[in-house]
Structure 1
Amino acid sequence: MKYHIILLWLFTMVSQALYAQSNGLSDGQRLIVDKLIRAASAGDKRQIAAMVVYPLRRTYPLSDVKNKAEMLARFDTIFDGELLRRIARSKTDDWSVVGWRGLMLDNGALWMDDAGGITAINYQSEKEKVLLERAIQKDKQQLPSSLQQLATPLYRIITKHYRIRIDELAGGQWRYACWSLKSAKKDADLVLYNGVFEAQGSGGNHTITFANGLYRYVVSINRLGTRETPEAVLTVFKEATVLLNDPGKITRN
């Protein structure tokens, strides 16, 4: 799927760009990595779960892991044998310092902060892939029949004025659907196709643009920014004129 290729590109670009900054660990960072390596070697679920920073995001529409109890319940799905072996067999030299993002293993398969917290796991086990496919099927069933033909749900966004979905269809085509927050209709108010992806630098920020005659609907996804930077922004243009600049949040399960 095109989305998975783009996700891999985003992870690779971010990892490579940040890797160029520094790959040397301080003594304190080595202690942090050693602690996780020992826990993985021992298969210590409770120790590892205690190191995770919650909520831990999973690929939508899987639900995020909200706390330690949920992590222990889902541990074998997220930290399967393969991931535990990767961690346990790693040496501190296999980890890299990547600026403010902290430490990464295997080009971003797992991330830790300087306090020793596990902040992201981009690795996905075979069990989780099966659960993801089931979640996608369930997500489809909640949509009106006119929108159920999709391959992968990408984003659900709530702005000040709209509820937005961006989905990948078969063949890698991207679709935009939106509803006014005041609308009670199940069918979307507007559906557009053939979204065009454009990366904004190497930090993971990107835009997806949908054309509609003289109008352009640009959805900006901000992975990097300040505390004030919205997670997503819908900007509507009529030719070169901005008609709407609508900040929003990406919603997750």
Structure 2
Amino acid sequence: MKIKKLLKIIAGVVIFLTLPSLLFFGFVYFKYNEDLPTGIEGKQADALATKMLDALDYVAYKKTNYIEWTFKRKHHYQWLKTEGICYVFWETYKVELDLNNPSESKAYIHGFRVHDEQETNLIEKATTFFNNDSFWLVAPYKVFDKGTKRFIVSTKKGEQGLLVTYTSGGTTPGDSYLWFLDDSGKPNRFKMWADILPIGGLEASWENWTTTESGAQLPTFHKLLFLGLEMGDVKGTK
């Protein structure tokens, strides 16, 4: 009897903990999930992408050699963009990512260099962090990256958006993002179809833009459903 009672208690606790999460996921899924829209590829899409780059001063971004930010107060970055080096800090770890020659990357714990499997695991983790967290900072500047395709999309609400699909690169190639711009061409939000997300079409804001010392414009905050994604004190210099 005691074993049966214990099993009932365990089952009750599991249901109590998981049922609200399942109900919440179901609510979010049916409310927000969308199929990836289709659009028209060509000069009009490229022109809209160029308008967005002009609004954000792409020339100033290209001349920005150093970018620093902190994603969600967890991962801190010092990106030497021109050199292709990024220092990634979290907890007691530091990884020197060589973005041009990944085999030259280095990993440290408490300031001491580590090697072999431990180093490999930390470098892989830092690379995943960088690919995700830097995208939340500089994604608008990547609309003409190698392997991208651009489409003009007209929504059911009568809005026009710029759909960008990444056919290669990053951690999860194949992801797509539908950008919505204000009258000046500056992005204020996008919808995401990403392999890492179980729901397609989730919307996130791009807001609280700051103009860095170098002239590049970068966001300092995103709102995703009920979550806030802070980028910390964003810096950019020549």
TM over 0.5: no
Higher relative contact order (CA 8 A, sep 6+): 2
When the two structures are superposed, what TM-score results if normalisation uses the length of structure 2?
Answer: 0.30
